[in-house]
């Protein structure tokens, strides 16, 4: 599955499988809180994780209810596929060295090399209840499948 460096990072950083794919570990959760303006209530002001994708794996299409900044730390290249909340187009962008995904946008990621180590920062802070997998949303999944081209394989 993973090359030697990816396996070493997974082990050394004590990463666990992520529900969307890849491996992760939360590295920071702000003790400060904010009240979101969208009705989600109180959230940590910011959270961050380490995230590893190995060759042949992907971060499947999902969305987060907060803004998410990706920072490529090692490996790569790493590409993100993005679609607005009501998917009518798909954009393909490189994380080089960083990229911000707006809150509520659909996103998927894959590494084009043997592995990628990224830091992902979410503000207001990430909560799993704010994560939606596209696989669980049939209408949006079919809309994206119709326009995604080769990005549909990341479902």
Domains along the chain with CATH numbers = 4-154 (2.60.120.10)
Q: What is the 3-state composition of the chain as percent helix, strand, coil, each rounded to the nearest 5?
A: 20, 45, 35
pTM: predicted TM-score of the whole model, two decimal places: 0.93
Percent of the chain whose predicted confidence (pLDDT) is above 90? 83
Distance CA 125, CA 88 (A): 27
Say how many C-beta atoms besides its own lie within 10 A of residue 83's C-beta: 23
CB of 19 closer than 8 Å to CB of 59:
no
pLDDT digit string, tens, across residues 94-145: 999 999 999 999 999 999 999 999 999 999 999 999 999 999 999 888 888 8
CB of 7 closer than 8 Å to CB of 44:
no
For residue 117, the model assigns a pLDDT of: 98
């Amino acid at each position: 599955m993973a090359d030697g460096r990816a396996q070493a990072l997974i082990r050394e950083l004590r990463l666990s499988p992520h529900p969307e794919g890849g491996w992760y570990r939360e590295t920071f959760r702000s003790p400060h809180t904010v009240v979101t303006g969208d009705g989600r209530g109180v959230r940590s002001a910011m959270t961050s994780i380490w995230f590893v994708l190995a060759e042949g794996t992907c971060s499947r299409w999902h969305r987060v209810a907060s803004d998410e900044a990706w920072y490529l730390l090692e490996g790569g290249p790493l590409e993100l596929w993005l679609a607005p909340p009501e998917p009518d187009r798909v954009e393909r962008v490189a994380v080089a060295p960083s990229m911000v995904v707006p809150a509520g946008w659909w996103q998927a990621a894959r590494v084009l090399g043997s592995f990628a180590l990224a830091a992902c920062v979410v503000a207001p802070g990430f909560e799993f209840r704010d994560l939606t997998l596209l696989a669980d949303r049939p209408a949006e999944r079919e809309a994206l499948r119709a326009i995604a081209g080769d990005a549909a394989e990341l479902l």
